[in-house]
């Protein structure tokens, strides 16, 4: 679809940081987008929560949470004064927050079960963790004891920056997997792979989102009612990395059903690899090869029809 911008209104336009369009259109909520656009429209002015709420239709509490969100991901920078007014300059570049001190050597890899009084002391001593709790509550609601311990563990012992943890949490919310175990599993992977900057976290979320979309299409084509097993997920990742289109994978599935009448990831994989070896990258390539084979065999038929059919099946299986 083509779009035409009305150039007559350019004089009334204002800028939006490219990082917002590149990385946050899926991550941010509609309220967060509304609040940001209003702030950008009046950049340099002192705005109050009440004014933003009145002109965006977003509740005052959501306005405060939205501002905190954009501050956490370094799109906005600023502090509220006692009169609840906020003047927020736009970051011209991604701020590089110092790496939180990572407890190494004797640091436990498992979460410590902090008592409520200990958690309270941690919040008083760490503004970063305190902000993490606040934004997490705006996303998930009241945090239970497990979630509180999890946030502290990801920050203190995995050494993930607060904005990285925030990106991770927002991604898990988007895919409806907000249990602490799942979030911690991804957090461990990010820590081990040094995914600990705003840019690298956003890139990883984009990669994971693309993989999830790819997997969903494959599941639909394969008529799967359950999530893929670990082995099946490995096949899907391999196919995506090999550059196979979902259309070609779906065609390989159809050939598999024709031949063995059941779903077999291993069989589909062999077909795809054989097609790749023969230079067949599209369904048209495969169908042309099938048609050429049948045409050549029909003109050069020298044995029985049954023999030709058997040989054709061998070629198809090689595909």
At the topology level of CATH, where does 116-197 sit? Arc Repressor Mutant, subunit A (1.10.10)
Kindly state the helix (H) or strand (E) to which residue 85 belongs, with its residue range.
Answer: strand 85-86
Query: Is pLDDT of 4 > 60?
Result: no
Q: Where are the domains of the chain?
A: 14-86, 116-197, 222-318
Per-residue model confidence (pLDDT) at position 43: 76
CATH 1.10.357 fits 14-86, yes or no: no
% of the chain with per-residue pLDDT over 70: 77
Sequence-ordered list of residues with C-beta below 8 angstroms from that of 116, at least 6 positions apart, any chain: 145
**DSSP label at residue 117:** H
Per-residue model confidence (pLDDT) at position 15: 75
CA distance 128 to 124: 10
Per-residue model confidence (pLDDT) at position 95: 40
pLDDT digits (tens, 9 = 90+) for 190-236: 999 999 998 999 999 999 999 999 999 999 999 999 999 999 999 99
**Same fold: 14-86 with 116-197:** yes
Residue 308: pLDDT band by 50, 70, 90 thresholds?
Answer: low
What angle is formed at CA 153 by the lines to CA 149 and CA 155, rounded to 5 degrees? 120
pLDDT digits (tens, 9 = 90+) for 75-117: 776 554 433 344 444 443 334 344 444 444 344 455 678 899 9
Residue 33: pLDDT band by 50, 70, 90 thresholds?
Answer: confident
Per-residue model confidence (pLDDT) at position 103: 41
% of the chain with per-residue pLDDT over 90: 52
């Amino acid at each position: 679809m083509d779009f035409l911008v009305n150039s007559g209104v350019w004089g009334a336009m204002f800028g939006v940081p490219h990082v917002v369009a590149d990385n946050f259109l899926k991550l941010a909520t509609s309220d967060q987008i509304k609040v940001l656009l209003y702030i950008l429209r009046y950049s340099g002015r002192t705005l109050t929560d009440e004014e933003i709420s009145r002109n965006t239709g977003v509740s005052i509490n959501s306005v405060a949470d939205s501002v905190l969100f954009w501050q956490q991901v370094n799109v906005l920078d600023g502090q509220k004064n006692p009169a609840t007014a906020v003047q927020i300059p736009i970051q011209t570049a991604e701020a590089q927050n110092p790496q939180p001190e990572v407890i190494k050597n004797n640091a436990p890899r498992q979460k410590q079960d902090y008592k409520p009084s200990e958690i309270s002391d941690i919040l008083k001593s760490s503004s970063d963790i305190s902000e993490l709790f606040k934004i997490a509550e705006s996303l998930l609601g009241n945090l239970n004891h497990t979630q509180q311990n999890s946030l502290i563990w990801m920050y203190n012992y995995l050494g993930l920056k607060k904005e990285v943890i925030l990106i991770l949490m927002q991604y898990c919310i988007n895919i409806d997997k907000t249990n602490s175990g799942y979030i911690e599993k991804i957090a461990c992977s990010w820590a081990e792979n040094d995914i600990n900057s705003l840019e690298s976290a956003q890139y990883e979320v984009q990669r994971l989102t693309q993989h999830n979309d790819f997997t969903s299409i494959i599941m639909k084509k394969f008529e799967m009612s359950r999530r893929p097993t670990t082995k099946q997920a490995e096949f899907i990742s391999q196919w995506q990395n090999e550059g196979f289109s979902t259309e070609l994978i779906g065609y390989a599935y159809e050939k598999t059903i024709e031949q063995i009448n059941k779903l077999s990831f291993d069989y589909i994989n062999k077909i795809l690899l054989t097609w790749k070896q023969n230079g067949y990258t599209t369904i048209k390539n495969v169908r042309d090869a099938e048609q050429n084979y049948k045409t050549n065999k029909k003109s050069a038929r020298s044995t029985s029809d049954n023999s030709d059919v058997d040989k054709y099946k061998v070629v198809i299986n090689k595909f």
